[in-house]
Structure 1
């Protein structure tokens, strides 16, 4: 738990809340030793490669997405959107869980760790649950469906040994389980309003990977270099990383692209299963993403 003097300035309080709980004596949490595990030139080259990969993935995703037939059947009739009770229940429960998680970060002085992908993913899911299915929201929904591999990594390889506050570890697990439950629920029961990307559609894999790569190489890595906090292990590799070494970030590009593709396969598999178990069986409606792209071309 962080300690603040009663006469501390705003900037002192902000620093303590953001990074006051970081153990600078542990190289895995950050510090000069973590930063200097490779030369500055090596780091700049890796950042450059990461940015190029991000832009290339974005280009491939946009090029392959245009002109595709993405008609999705709908069982909800046209008219004003009314969110379902299940969606509202998930919104209330998950907002409460994430709010508690944010409170723990303030208390422990780890606000900077809210830049972790799972926390950003949580914010995006709360937004999707709270808003109607517009063209932009459906696009965002399809992107974050392909981020499921990050949640599964947090479940299978948890970093919960630093969670010391009462029930902080339980909140961590609740948050990650909900990050799996929500997309499965949305695919099963909300796919007429939030249609997943078509099966075997590589465009959303590359679009999602470009966003994932941008967040890691530009945002998390950039903030890590500025603050010396090892956010998402972008400053230096975790001791448990099997690819630990000077090129672990480059290897990460390959396995994260594969993981994003596997997330797309997971989404496609759950969609196929949901269509069998929960058939929609009523009037059709075109995919909002496709409809908007067609109207723009016209």
Structure 2
């Protein structure tokens, strides 16, 4: 099957976006060694954290019909994702749909639509540790190739919603967060994040020559340039992800929940 329509529109004119510069940024041997090491580490961390996790408890309140605000966010996020997908089809760059922010968008659409369950609580707690995506995208936006009308606008709306929706869900009480000092969910979430990057995005980047979420070569704005940039990324993102999660909880959770969790 011909998949060139998914990558044909990816331009190499933008630095570190695709092409030989990225492919030659490090050797494939180095990439494979890093992937093996990260995979082993992630499996060990997941096993360690899973054994120490508390049992998931469903909310005591019965499920209520979706509020107007929740339905509005569901429709808006679905619409923005549809527009983004349409832009990528038009530009023949559908490969970028694999980037984590788009995956997180799909998860949040499901969380807004679904009834509370152990699955939705699990997904909510995991994606709360992926707030680094919209945070970093907002600090270091890469919108040079967004030349269609409203394409830059949808970028900002999508990434704003990726942070606002978890805050709304947290305030609504639909899904409860883990205890404030519980880092087991953060450890499992980070392991899932790294496995997705090193075992899926990295091979896809090498096969297509497209720098998916900077797994092929470092971004221009990355302060940790060089062959070790992915190792540094594992370290600083392992700190940033749980930090953003816990700070978001402390700032936006309801007062009674904060008091309850701080006492535990």
For residues 259 and 91 of structure 1, the distance between their equivalents in structure 2, rounded to whole angstroms, comes to: 27
| Matching residue of 2:114 | 131
Q: How does 1:100-179 map to 2 (within 5 A)?
A: 100-179=83-162
Give the Å deviation of 1:41: 1.9
| Matching residue of 1:199 | 180
Which shifted more, 22-31 or 52-61?
A: 22-31
For residues 50 and 186 of structure 1, the distance between their equivalents in structure 2, rounded to whole angstroms, comes to: 32
Please say if 1:257 is aligned against 2:257: no
Structure 1 residues 271, 197: CA separation in 2 closer, same or farther (over 3 Å shift)?
farther
Contact 1:187–1:271 under 8 Å retained in 2: yes
Please say if 1:232 is aligned against 2:213: yes
Which shifted more, 18-27 or 145-154?
A: 18-27
SS in 2 for 1:220: helix
| Matching residue of 2:24 | 36
Q: Which runs of 5+ in 2 are unaligned?
A: 259-264
For residues 171 and 232 of structure 1, the distance between their equivalents in structure 2, rounded to whole angstroms, comes to: 18
For residues 120 and 30 of structure 1, the distance between their equivalents in structure 2, rounded to whole angstroms, comes to: 21
- CA RMSD, Structure 1 to Structure 2 (Å): 2.1
Q: Which runs of 5+ in 1 are unaligned?
A: 1-9, 280-298
Please say if 1:15 is aligned against 2:4: yes
Please say if 1:54 is aligned against 2:34: no
For residues 227 and 69 of structure 2, the distance between their equivalents in structure 1, rounded to whole angstroms, comes to: 47
Contact 1:60–1:206 under 8 Å retained in 2: no
Contact 1:187–1:270 under 8 Å retained in 2: no
TM-score normalised according to structure 1 size: 0.81
Runs of 4+ in 1 over 4 A off after TM superposition: 69-74
Give the Å deviation of 1:236: 0.8
Please say if 1:211 is aligned against 2:210: no
- 1:99-135: per-residue Cα shift (whole Å, max 9, x none)? 1111111111211011111111101101111111111
Give the Å deviation of 1:83: 2.5
For residues 57 and 267 of structure 1, the distance between their equivalents in structure 2, rounded to whole angstroms, comes to: 24
| Matching residue of 2:261 | none
Give the Å deviation of 1:231: 0.6
For residues 35 and 10 of structure 2, the distance between their equivalents in structure 1, rounded to whole angstroms, comes to: 24
Give the Å deviation of 1:182: 0.5
- 1:10-57: per-residue Cα shift (whole Å, max 9, x none)? 83xx422x1111123555112233112222221211111221222122
Contact 1:151–1:176 under 8 Å retained in 2: yes
TM-score normalised according to structure 2 size: 0.90
Contact 1:28–1:236 under 8 Å retained in 2: yes
Give the Å deviation of 1:163: 0.7
| Matching residue of 2:66 | 83
Task: Say which one has the larger Rg.
Answer: 1
Contact 2:58–2:116 under 8 Å retained in 1: no
| Matching residue of 1:288 | none
Contact 1:70–1:198 under 8 Å retained in 2: no
